[in-house]
Amino acid sequence: MNEPQKKKIAILGVGNVIMRDDGAGVHAIRELEKIELPENVALIDGGTSGLDALYETSGSDLLIIIDTVLGGEEPGSIYRFTPEDIGAGEELPNTLHMGILDALKMAEMTGDRPENVVVVAVEPEEITAGLELTETIKNRLGKIVEIVLSEVELFLKNNN
């Protein structure tokens, strides 16, 4: 008897690692790389390429995007939302790199958009030239990873 096909999960970290906290998504991917994940989970360092990186997620059942968001909360605040939470035609101010929400809309038109998309983002403290995250954001990486892993676990529990 054939084993049911496992759901494909892509975790896409985006950001500019030479602009301090703007690189939080990529730093989170590096932390996730240290953890043994199921074989059906792909980690993607999207850097600042947004649209190109989105092509790597084609065929995924769940896409988790990790990024920074200027949402007006305290630095280190963590947001969790879906594109649908934002509303028709609206974008959060200064949200995702390279118009990734627009890229998701394009992918939807071509039928390549993952059915389930979740964004986990952090409010940056400092976006200036530099390779290191601020202590505030560095101290939040563990929580970001925890939230991402809980999204994966919840999805697998509800879809396998």
Q: Tell me how many degrees the CA angle 82-45-19 measures, rounded to the nearest 5.
A: 90
Q: Which fold has domain 9-159?
A: Rossmann fold (3.40.50)
| Helices 141-159 and 24-32: angle between axes, nearest 10 degrees | 60
Quickly list DSSP for 113-131.
S-SEEEEEEE--S--SSBS
Structural contact between residues 96 and 83, judged by C-beta atoms closer than 8 angstroms: no
Give the residue among 89, 97, 94, 151 at the shortest CA–CA distance from 120. Answer: 151
pLDDT tens for the 160 residues of the chain, in order: 445 568 999 999 999 999 999 999 999 999 999 999 999 999 999 887 766 777 788 889 999 999 998 888 999 999 998 887 766 444 554 555 546 667 777 777 777 788 899 999 999 999 999 999 999 999 999 999 999 999 999 999 998 6
